[in-house]
Structure 1
């Protein structure tokens, strides 16, 4: 059973789009839960970014969620698996490798993704002769148009397994437009839905279960004093338990309150299929690949307009900051984090690039109608307060890890 989440945060490991730059790596985001790590996408060199991070630890990765199979979102997955599970190319012929036939000592690392994720991981590990000390399992989110027969590109969970692959992978069917509760425990759940891109793409919704409400001592202390009850019982009330005092007075703990909701989208020009799941999000992470920045970006085309840049972005399966802001507004989100920027938009390393990122943020604010917009930077850490604290005006805290660019 997972313990209640006392520390919840996001680390942007890569915020570039198709091409990385000297200041932005390929796409990857880490969700941190009490130190455990769930990765969302794993572009090339993600493990290098993890090595630079002060908060994301390779050995703490429990789950990986892939939005789609474009290489800038999955190109680092195989190498990261090898590093996370002490993988290598095995022993020389004639020398028995102790990993072959051994029983894993830890639960499998879980990987979720669309059709093709299993074949990519399985075949990639086989073709590179990679052996792992641990085990992994792949769960595929199947679209209605996906083939139902098992082929090389859509293998069954138990067909021609890699030595480190668990046979317990699931093929999860889309039901009523969503993949509900693809993971769920006593503390947190993950659901998913399609979002529109140039290839099959998935958005994920991470939802914390209702949490115990905060005790207001003023409501209880008079009863404790009147009956001579030990204040130690206040801890039981804080846990939501019912306490009966010596005079028969029954005190109930505060009701449970809604947990936090985080929406993490992949590449998209229209995420409307996930709207219902995403409503009321505390955090939405949305791409903002292209932007029209007259007077700020000197490289724009003379004939470009906001409308033409949006149409060009949509034709390639992507969004502008305004589109991201409008989606966040539609779902009633509290905070919008932008990522997946074109390589022409460097991180905030000089006055010009800072002006560009400020202009991108402004465009998103206009669409969102709120000022709670953050442009993601590589190795940016965001600490997410409890739901009650955010309702009371305590905003997510943004801290940048120290990093030196070459």
Structure 2
């Protein structure tokens, strides 16, 4: 597992930060979380391979998180605008089983946005895509905000996924904020699963928890080989022990199978002023990515008002649906995260703190504010920052 931040700005991009996008490498695949404008350009400047993208998870449909989706799809799947002579485009002649299928997850409106973009730009794709929508009880159970027919490159298998466990269905006028249940295992295979839950913003918004299945404890072969040789047993015993089997050697020596340790967990939040509904599935995250749009930085931020305080800035930020570093730190402490990565910064905060002294001072101050609430490791994301997700086992467990 590896995380690469492709865009770390909020609302508007700056010369040092692009719109929101985050790439998670999972084995040989790449999963994107949000896809702001110019994400495909950011990918071209990064080590992320566009052809490896298999899934895209949208947190909410604000433009700075979704405007880059259709262009990226066209780049991933060799998109084009058709032929001049009216002949059938070669892209549509390939057998479906030989084509790439891109899976997209997001709240209500994601499907309509993608379909409208592709339809009105007359974009053809050399591939197929499918959109799964996470539905609140206040959303229509059917329908997808568009009367457009299924795009010719869109699979009809897109699911409308209800919250888990089922909640009583309110009238459409009931706020989505009354529904705090998660969406469990929206994707799952033998190695990894993805669940989601609401987080509070100015529009319906979700966060995602990516959880690896338990993995075998690392073996030290040197501790077993002498015993196996002495007993005259085959070396294949090592693989049985690694799988967790208890083995009795021919000389009566009993070797216990290795157990498993928890897999890694990465939690990626969209925009939020309160992430409480996702707390249960975010517990013990190895990496928590949480926005920190604004901060009170007297003496560092020229936009600071004389009357500002940490409390007033937090109140103002909250009223716009966003968080301060302290809010992020408190949530990280609540869910016992190992590492907190602050993200989604105001355009006022430069993202080149690796080379710019002024930016380094500002981002250091933002980091310190989060550290007042959270004693684990804190990082401030910048575009193209990349880090591996390490295994971590709490000694108390």
What is the TM-score with the length of structure 1 in the denominator? 0.89
1:73 to 56, 65, 75: 65
Matched with 1:208 is 212
Which SS does the other structure have where 1:295 is aligned?
coil
Contact 1:100–1:163 at 8 Å: present in 2 too? no
* Distance in 2 (alpha carbons) for counterparts of 1:53 and 1:331: 31
Contact 1:140–1:172 at 8 Å: present in 2 too? yes
* Distance in 2 (alpha carbons) for counterparts of 1:210 and 1:19: 40
In the TM superposition, what are the counterparts of 1:351-390 in structure 2 within 5 Å? 351-370=357-376, 372-388=377-393
Deviations 1:123-175 (A, max 9, x none): 11000000000100000000111023425x167xxx82101101111000012
Deviations 1:164-205 (A, max 9, x none): 101111000012301000000000000000000000001000
Gaps of 5+ in 1: 1-7, 393-406
Which SS does the other structure have where 1:21 is aligned?
coil
2:79 to 70, 74, 87: 87
Gaps of 5+ in 2: 166-180
Matched with 2:267 is 263
Contact 1:215–1:253 at 8 Å: present in 2 too? no
Structure 1 residue runs of 4+, over 6 Å off?
A: none
How far off is 1:297 after superposition? 2.0
Which SS does the other structure have where 1:297 is aligned?
coil
Contact 1:141–1:172 at 8 Å: present in 2 too? yes
How far off is 1:241 after superposition? 4.2
Which SS does the other structure have where 1:367 is aligned?
coil
Matched with 1:220 is 224
Which SS does the other structure have where 1:99 is aligned?
helix
Matched with 1:402 is none
Matched with 1:404 is none
In the TM superposition, what are the counterparts of 1:174-193 in structure 2 within 5 Å? 174-176=163-165, 177-193=181-197
What is the TM-score with the length of structure 2 in the denominator? 0.91
Q: In the alignment, does 2:286 pair up with 1:282?
A: yes
* Distance in 2 (alpha carbons) for counterparts of 1:36 and 1:101: 26
Matched with 1:160 is 149
Deviations 1:89-125 (A, max 9, x none): 0112432223336432145110000000001001110
Contact 2:6–2:18 at 8 Å: present in 1 too? yes
Higher mean displacement: 337-346 or 251-260: 251-260
* Distance in 1 (alpha carbons) for counterparts of 2:206 and 2:94: 35
1:38 to 27, 31, 36: 31
How far off is 1:232 after superposition? 4.9
* Distance in 1 (alpha carbons) for counterparts of 2:388 and 2:366: 23
Contact 1:237–1:252 at 8 Å: present in 2 too? yes
